[in-house]
């Protein structure tokens, strides 16, 4: 019955540096080939930047680890070329249910609106996600992926005396065949929660470690439970504690048991301790096999600064949250999505280096939001006083009947993209808009049609600066406006104008035209004729106007690229 997954072993090859060959200086080195490091490496390579990616192992992560991948992450994976593989293999879900003892107290729906390409969440073992990303990276000529290459030394090169804080990074890398030096202009640190590079530089992470322990059990079994998230407070099969159940690919079920701080981690991982817990939950007659077991504690911490001159920290190397709410890998991959386009623009000298300060600004804000939500969830799940426990149980009791109490139930506020409303890259609104698609928000997807073929707006937008221009009838747009829209592509930072038409999506030379055939774009973006949205390469909205003005777009673009 065991899962059919076979862990791949990737080949180690002695680096050219160990053979005495002259190797050029690398523009970007990424350390850590987990989901976040792979994401940023693939994103950069797809934009034409060569990347050296180092990892000290030669396989994917053991066990399911990260399980839930949110809609926004799936949209990023679509741009990386692996979205379909992940969704096809994973278990899609939109419904979560919360139980108190034996009764359901409430349930939620992640996507209440129709017409989205991707589900609210998928469940997929991290080893699958990593393998899909590794295969994609191996298919790209711009990525030099080196296994069993461990960074054992790091220092920043001194400045040149002309105002530069640093000119690059020097590394020492250990392999089975010896140690060799590397030099790069930029180092992206994605080596996880126990980051060795962060430790070498004596950089701290600050926050809370919660005094509780949880057991993860990956169980292979055939069961007809629906593809939903189930969370129990004080269930009869595990009294006084909480339990979480998720279905994954290959009939693997993820079960998290709260244990309490006094539990012995090594003792609790023994099969003779785990199996009785599972039988109490599933019944004596349920056949299952253990695939993977681990014990973890909650941490809600982050580095003070995500940028240290030529070093940029992403994912768990920069911040750690509790797993309830699926904020770990999802927020880390959004770090990578935020960083890649900015670094590419800086390296190409299309933007000043201070654009990278906005990476730290925006993702530190997002980390604080995640830490706040994660801390609140953890405090609700693991109350530390009798008064807190009494309050929580009263909330759960009232939630069976009263909507106001359901809003207080917190079994893990699930990951959503941070709205970067206060970003220095945004252009404040000068017009009145409704809806949620304000500057700083990640774009909502909508169905569109072009040349008789139905598709999705985010696929059309891709990974570039785009101006979305909404019209009733394309044929009624005057020639001077069309010419000005086309001319946006010829600027120092190219901007592609996409026309979205309420009707009559006729062809226009030099411009792509899409029909908002279900009216979802007009609805979700509060779009009226002549409404224009400037979108960044990470598909966050940067500015919006009720009419198109080329000078206003140029000013918005300058601000979005830290040139104003």
Percentage of residues of the chain with pLDDT beyond 90: 81
Residue 63 pLDDT class (50, 70, 90 cuts)? confident
Q: Do you know the residue count of the chain?
A: 564
DSSP-derived pairing of the beta strands 51-55 and 143-147: parallel
CATH of the domain spanning 16-90+120-204+301-357, picked from 3.40.50.1110, 3.40.50.720, 3.50.50.60, 3.40.190.10: 3.50.50.60
67-71-74 Cα angle (round to 5): 75
CB-CB contact of 28 with 51 (8 Å) = yes
Q: What is the pLDDT of residue 3?
A: 66
Residue 92 pLDDT class (50, 70, 90 cuts)? very high
CB-CB contact of 35 with 83 (8 Å) = no
Is residue 163's pLDDT more than 60? no
Q: What is the pLDDT of residue 165?
A: 65
Residue 106 and residue 483: Cα distance in Å, rounded?
A: 54
Burial class from Cβ neighbours inside 10 Å (0-12, 13-18, 19+) for residue 537 reads buried
Q: What is the dihedral of CA 33, 35, 41, 47, to 10 degrees?
A: 160
CB-CB contact of 299 with 316 (8 Å) = no
Is residue 1's pLDDT more than 80? no
Per-residue pLDDT tens for 299-314?
889 999 999 999 999 9
The Cβ of residue 473 has, within 10 Å, a number of other Cβ atoms equal to 13
Is residue 326's pLDDT more than 80? no
- Mean per-residue pLDDT for 11-18? 94
Q: What is the pLDDT of residue 175?
A: 98
Half-sphere exposure of 252 (CA within 13 A, CB side): 27
Closest CA to 33 of 142, 122, 139, 149: 149
Is residue 240's pLDDT more than 90? yes
Residue 411 pLDDT class (50, 70, 90 cuts)? confident
Residue 533 neighbours by CB under 8 Å, 6+ apart: 437, 467, 468, 525, 541, 543, 544
DSSP-derived pairing of the beta strands 496-503 and 466-473: parallel
- What would be the CATH architecture of the domain defined by 447-560? 3-Layer(aba) Sandwich (3.40)
Is residue 414's pLDDT more than 70? yes
Q: What is the pLDDT of residue 350?
A: 95
Closest CA to 51 of 76, 81, 26: 26
Residue 64 pLDDT class (50, 70, 90 cuts)? confident
Calculate the average pLDDT of the chain: 93
Per-residue pLDDT tens for 366-405?
999 988 888 888 888 888 889 989 999 999 999 999 999 9
The Cβ of residue 135 has, within 10 Å, a number of other Cβ atoms equal to 13
Higher pLDDT, 208 or 431: 431
CB-CB contact of 452 with 548 (8 Å) = no
Residue 510 neighbours by CB under 8 Å, 6+ apart: 482, 486
Is residue 226's pLDDT more than 80? yes
Burial class from Cβ neighbours inside 10 Å (0-12, 13-18, 19+) for residue 343 reads buried
Is residue 166's pLDDT more than 80? no
Higher pLDDT, 24 or 352: 352
| Domain ranges across the chain | 16-90+120-204+301-357, 447-560
Is residue 113's pLDDT more than 90? no
Q: What is the pLDDT of residue 154?
A: 97
- Mean per-residue pLDDT for 74-91? 98
Residue 283 pLDDT class (50, 70, 90 cuts)? very high
Per-residue pLDDT tens for 433-471?
999 999 999 999 999 999 889 999 999 999 999 999 999
Per-residue pLDDT tens for 342-356?
999 999 999 999 999
Residue 93 pLDDT class (50, 70, 90 cuts)? very high
Please give the C-alpha separations between residue 540 and each of 334, 362, 436, 534, in angstroms, as whole numbers: 11, 12, 12, 9
Please give the C-alpha separations between residue 158 and each of 29, 187, 356, 464, in angstroms, as whole numbers: 18, 15, 19, 33
Is residue 162's pLDDT more than 80? no
Closest CA to 17 of 138, 217, 184: 184
Q: What is the pLDDT of residue 124?
A: 96
Is residue 160's pLDDT more than 70? no
Q: What is the pLDDT of residue 21?
A: 74
Q: What is the pLDDT of residue 180?
A: 95
- Mean per-residue pLDDT for 139-161? 91
Residue 325 and residue 229: Cα distance in Å, rounded?
A: 11
Helices 355-381, 328-347: inter-axial angle, 10-degree rounding: 180
Residue 340 and residue 52: Cα distance in Å, rounded?
A: 14
Q: What is the pLDDT of residue 394?
A: 95
Q: What is the dihedral of CA 67, 68, 73, 74, to 10 degrees?
A: 90
One-character DSSP codes across 118-157: S-SEEE--HHHHHHHHHHHHHT-TTEEEEET-EEEEEEEP
Residue 69 pLDDT class (50, 70, 90 cuts)? very high
Burial class from Cβ neighbours inside 10 Å (0-12, 13-18, 19+) for residue 283 reads exposed
Residue 113 and residue 376: Cα distance in Å, rounded?
A: 27
Please give the C-alpha separations between residue 356 and each of 42, 79, 310, 491, in angstroms, as whole numbers: 19, 22, 10, 22
- Mean per-residue pLDDT for 163-180? 88
Q: What is the pLDDT of residue 297?
A: 84
Q: 490 is written with which tokens?
A: 């010829």
Is residue 505's pLDDT more than 80? no
Q: Give the distance, in angstroms, between the CA of residue 379 and the centroid of all CA atoms in the same chain.
A: 24
Q: What is the pLDDT of residue 529?
A: 96
Percentage of residues of the chain with pLDDT beyond 70: 97
Q: 279 is written with which tokens?
A: 């039988």
């Amino acid at each position: 019955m065991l899962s059919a997954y076979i862990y791949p072993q990737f080949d180690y090859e002695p680096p050219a540096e160990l053979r005495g060959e002259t190797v050029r200086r690398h523009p970007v080195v990424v350390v850590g080939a987990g989901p976040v490091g792979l994401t940023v490496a693939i994103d950069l390579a797809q934009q034409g930047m060569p990347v050296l990616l180092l990892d000290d192992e030669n396989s994917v992560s053991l066990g399911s680890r990260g399980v839930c991948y949110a809609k926004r992450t799936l949209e990023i994976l679509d741009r990386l070329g692996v979205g379909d593989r992940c969704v096809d293999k994973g278990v899609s879900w939109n419904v979560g249910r919360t139980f108190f003892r034996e009764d359901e107290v409430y349930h939620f729906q992640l996507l209440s609106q129709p017409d989205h390409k991707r589900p609210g969440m998928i469940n997929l073992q991290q080893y699958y996600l990593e393998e899909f990303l590794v295969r994609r990276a191996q298919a790209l000529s711009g990525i030099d992926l080196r296994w069993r290459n461990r960074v054992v030394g790091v220092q920043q090169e001194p400045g040149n005396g002309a105002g530069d804080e640093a000119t690059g990074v020097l590394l020492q890398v250990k392999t089975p065949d010896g140690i060799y030096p590397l030099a790069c202009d930029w180092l992206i640190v994605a080596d996880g929660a126990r980051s060795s590079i962060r430790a070498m530089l004596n950089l701290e992470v600050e926050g809370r470690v919660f005094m509780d322990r949880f057991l993860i059990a990956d169980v292979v079994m055939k069961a007809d439970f629906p593809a939903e998230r189930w969370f129990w407070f004080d269930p009869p099969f595990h009294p006084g504690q909480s339990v979480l159940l998720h279905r994954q690919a290959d009939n693997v079920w993820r079960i998290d048991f709260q244990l309490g701080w006094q539990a012995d981690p090594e003792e609790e991982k023994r099969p003779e301790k785990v199996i009785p817990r599972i039988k109490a939950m599933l019944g004596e007659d349920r056949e299952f096999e253990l695939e993977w077991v681990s014990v973890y504690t909650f941490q809600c911490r982050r580095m003070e600064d995500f940028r240290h001159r030529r070093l940029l920290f992403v994912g768990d190397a920069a911040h750690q949250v509790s797993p309830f709410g699926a904020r770990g890998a999802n927020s880390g991959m959004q770090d990578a999505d935020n960083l890649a386009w900015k670094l590419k623009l800086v390296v190409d000298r299309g933007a000043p280096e201070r654009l990278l300060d906005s990476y730290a600004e925006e993702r530190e804000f997002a980390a604080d939001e995640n830490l706040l939500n994660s801390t609140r969830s953890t405090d609700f799940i693991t109350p530390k006083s009798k008064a807190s426990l009494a309050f929580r149980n009263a909330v759960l009791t009232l939630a069976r009947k009263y909507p106001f109490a359901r809003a207080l139930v917190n079994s893990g506020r699930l990951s959503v993209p941070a709205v970067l409303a206060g970003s220095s890259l945004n252009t404040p609104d000068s017009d009145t808009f409704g809806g949620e698609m304000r500057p700083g928000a990640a774009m909502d997807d909508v169905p569109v049609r072009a040349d008789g073929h139905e598709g999705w707006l985010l696929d059309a937008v891709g990974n570039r600066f785009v101006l979305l221009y909404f019209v009733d009838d394309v044929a009624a747009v005057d020639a001077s406006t069309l010419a000005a829209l086309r001319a946006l592509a010829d600027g120092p930072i190219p901007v592609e104008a996409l026309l979205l038409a309420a009707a009559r999506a006729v062809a226009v030379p030099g411009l792509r035209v899409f029909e908002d055939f279900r009216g979802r774009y007009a609805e979700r973006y509060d779009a009226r004729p002549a409404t224009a949205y400037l979108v960044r390469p990470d598909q966050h909205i940067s500015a919006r106007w009720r009419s198109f003005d080329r000078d206003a777009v140029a000013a918005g673009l300058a601000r979005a690229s830290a040139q104003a």
